[in-house]
């Protein structure tokens, strides 16, 4: 059990962090929506196969089917497909760092849409996180390049969409079995992506004509990024606290930036490093479940006894 848990954590840390690099490699030859569509269609068929082998029922009602189609569109077609598109203009490390602002966006959406009360330290996290985001996107290499700036705006839009999707999924009626739920979401997400690819009139390239590095990248995205890491994520949610699972928010950007630097020779500016530290500090404050003031009061009372 302990070894399985460690491997699961390594999966969501390293695999999810490396998917930015793999997408960046693949989008060098393949059209973005075609790339993402093929990835999730293949992964969904493999997931259905796994569900069949484990003899789980694929039966869902009409409401569940509709909600998986909506979730697939928000999470995969927009939240992932447009990010892959943006990788044509932005470095993989910078993309991962921008997406690390996800908890900040979810918190603000809950406040705006559901009037959810925000704790003091969460507001501190929001302020610090926004400061980090400003430092990130105000760099000369981004502000002086219309293409890079467009890519960053696309990624921010995806972060907002993913945040809204997270809130939607939390309330929607979905298939109870997470393997079945994931299979349907990936299937519908892939269909949306293929439709978007057709509308955009993308050029499709046969897998036999893919460059070897693109073939390996796609294989990694399908097997590890779409199946192994997501299964590990759901496994960890059952055996450890959500806060521990959320630590991937801090590790993924670091893995992505290091791999981007080592493999793709992407530059890491000092301002990016400062922005990363500030942004992730803000995310840390937002993810804090216990108000530090309560902890300090408890410590003080303990000393007085």
**300 falls in which pLDDT band (50, 70, 90)?**
very low
Could you report how far apart the first and last alpha carbons of the chain are, in Å? 40
Q: What is the DSSP string of 197-243?
A: HHHTTPPP--GGGS-HHHHHHHHHIIIIIIIIHHHHHHHHHHHS-HH
Contact predicate 96/252, CB 8 Å = yes
| Per-residue tokens: 56 | 């789980």
Q: Which of the listed ranges 93-102, 153-162, 168-177, 199-208 does the model predict with the highest average pLDDT?
A: 199-208
Mean of pLDDT values over 290-296: 46
| Measured distance CA(40)–CA(55) in Å, rounded | 22
This prediction's pTM: 0.82
pLDDT at residue 4 in the model:
84
Within 13 Å and on the Cβ side, how many CA atoms surround 22? Answer: 22
Which is more confident, 42 or 130?
42
Q: Rank 53-67, 163-177, 289-303 by mean pLDDT and report only the highest.
A: 53-67
Q: 61 versus 275: which is more confidently predicted?
A: 61
Domain interval for residue 43: 2-304
Torsion of CA 112, 77, 70, 222, to 10 degrees: -120
Above pLDDT 70, what percent of the chain? 89
pLDDT at 241: 60
pLDDT tens per residue across span 198-246: 999 999 999 999 999 999 999 999 999 888 887 787 677 667 765 567 6
Condensed to tens digits (0 to 9), the pLDDT of residues 115-163 reads 778 787 788 888 888 888 888 777 776 666 788 888 888 888 888 888 8
Tokens representing residue 289 in the block: 């479940």
State how many domains the chain has.
1
Q: Lowest-pLDDT range, 5-9, 29-33, 124-128, 298-302?
A: 298-302
Mean residue pLDDT of the chain comes to: 83
């Amino acid at each position: 059990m302990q070894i399985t848990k460690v491997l699961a954590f390594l999966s969501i840390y390293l695999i999810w962090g490396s998917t930015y690099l793999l997408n960046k490699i693949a989008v060098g030859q393949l059209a973005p929506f075609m790339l993402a569509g093929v990835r999730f269609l293949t992964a969904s068929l493999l997931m259905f196969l796994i569900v069949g082998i484990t003899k789980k029922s694929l039966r869902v009602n009409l409401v569940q089917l509709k909600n998986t189609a909506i979730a697939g569109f928000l999470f995969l077609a927009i939240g992932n497909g447009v990010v892959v598109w943006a990788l044509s203009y932005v470095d993989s490390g910078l993309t991962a760092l921008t997406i690390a602002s996800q908890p900040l966006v979810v918190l603000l959406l809950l406040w705006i849409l559901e009037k959810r009360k925000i704790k003091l330290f969460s507001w501190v996290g929001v302020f610090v996180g926004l400061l980090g985001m400003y430092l990130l996107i105000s760099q000369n290499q981004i502000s002086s390049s219309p293409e890079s700036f467009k890519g960053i705006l696309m990624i921010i839009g995806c972060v907002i969409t993913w945040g809204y999707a997270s809130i939607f999924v939390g309330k929607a009626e979905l298939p109870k079995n997470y393997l079945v739920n994931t299979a349907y979401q990936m299937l519908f997400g892939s269909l949306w992506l293929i439709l978007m690819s057709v509308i955009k009139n993308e050029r499709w390239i046969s897998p036999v004509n893919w460059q070897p590095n693109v073939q390996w990248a796609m294989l990694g995205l399908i097997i590890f990024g779409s199946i192994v890491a997501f299964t590990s994520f759901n496994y960890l949610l059952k055996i450890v606290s959500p806060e521990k699972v959320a630590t991937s928010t801090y590790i993924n950007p670091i893995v992505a930036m290091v791999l981007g630097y080592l493999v793709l020779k992407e530059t890491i500016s000092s301002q990016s490093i400062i922005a990363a530290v500030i942004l992730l500090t803000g995310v840390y404050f937002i993810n804090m479940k216990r108000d530090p003031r309560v902890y300090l009061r408890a410590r003080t009372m303990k000393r007085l006894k």
